[in-house]
Amino acid sequence: LAPIDGVHWKQLLGGGSMATDGTGLKVQVPGVGLHHGYIEVYHRDELVVYQYEPEKGGTTQAAKLAKFTGALLIDAESRYNETFQANPNIVEFNCNAHPRRKLRDAEAAQPLLAAEAGRFVTAMFDAEAEAKTAGIAGDALREWRQARIRPTVEAFRLWIDAVKPTLIPSDPLRKVLQYYVNHWTELTRFIDDPRVPIDNS
C-alpha cells in the first residue's frame, strides 16, 4: 500500500485520466474486534495505487483528489459529489459496467425488456472490445467510438424514453433506466474522449 504522500500517489495525481473504484474490507483490530473498512484502487496508465481508509466518506475522497486535474472515471456514487464541487478541474465520467449489472438483475422482473436493453449495452461493449483488440487508440479511437458506439447510444436513449414511462415506479427495470437518464452525460462522455475506457472494471 502506498502512503498518501508517496511517490506513486504524486504520479497518480499528475493529471490526465484516472479510474477509481472501491470495496468494503473487514479488518481485525486487536483489542477492538472486527472493523468494516474500505479499500480503494486508483488506476492511471500502468500505475495502480491501493489506499485503505477506515471509512468511505466524501470529505476523505475530496481531500485525496484535491490536486488532481483531468478525467475521473467512477461509479456514480453520491460520495464523489464533494470531490467535484471542491475541484472544478476534474471532469466526471461514469462506469458503464455498474448499470449493465443492474440491467441483468432486472431480467428477473422484466426478462424481455431488460434483455432488449442489455443488447444495446452489449453492442457498446462489443465495439469497444473490438477496438481494443485491433489496437485502436487516440484520435482513431474517438472516431471509432463516434462511428460505432454513438449510433447505438442514441438508439438506446430513444428506447429508454419510450419504455420508461410504461413501467411502474417500483419496477427494477425502470429504476435502472432512470439511473441511465440521471447520469446520461457522464455515462456517454467516454465516446468523445479516447483517454477514458468504457468502464472502470
- Each residue's pLDDT tens digit, 117-150: 999 999 999 999 999 999 999 999 999 999 999 9
How much is the average pLDDT of 169-193?
97
Q: What is the pLDDT of residue 1?
A: 43
15-19, 88-92, 99-103, 115-119: least confident range: 15-19
Question: Residue 43: phi, psi to the nearest 5?
Answer: -130, 125
Dig out the grid coordinates for 31 from the structure: 483489542
Q: Report the number of secondary-structure helices (H) and strands (E) in the chain.
A: 9, 5
Above 70 in pLDDT, residue 33?
Answer: yes
Reference 104, options 115, 96, 112; nearest CA is 115
Q: What percent of the chain has pLDDT over 90?
A: 72
Above 60 in pLDDT, residue 5?
Answer: no
Residues in the chain: 201
The 10s digit of each residue's pLDDT in 158-176 is 999 999 999 999 999 999 9
Contact 51, 64 (CB under 8 A): yes
Mean pLDDT, the chain, rounded, equals 92
> Which comes out higher in pLDDT, residue 190 or 60?
190
Q: What is the pLDDT of residue 6?
A: 65
- What interhelical angle do 97-106 and 111-133 show, nearest 10? 150
Reference 131, options 139, 146, 141; nearest CA is 141
13-27, 62-76, 174-188: least confident range: 13-27
The 10s digit of each residue's pLDDT in 42-99 is 998 888 888 888 888 899 889 989 999 999 999 998 989 999 999 999 999 999 999 9
Q: What is the pLDDT of residue 30?
A: 87
Reference 22, options 47, 6, 43; nearest CA is 43
Q: What is the pLDDT of residue 54?
A: 87
Q: What is the pLDDT of residue 7?
A: 66
Contact 74, 68 (CB under 8 A): no
- Report the b/e string of 152-162 with b at 16+ CB within 10 A: bbeebeebbee
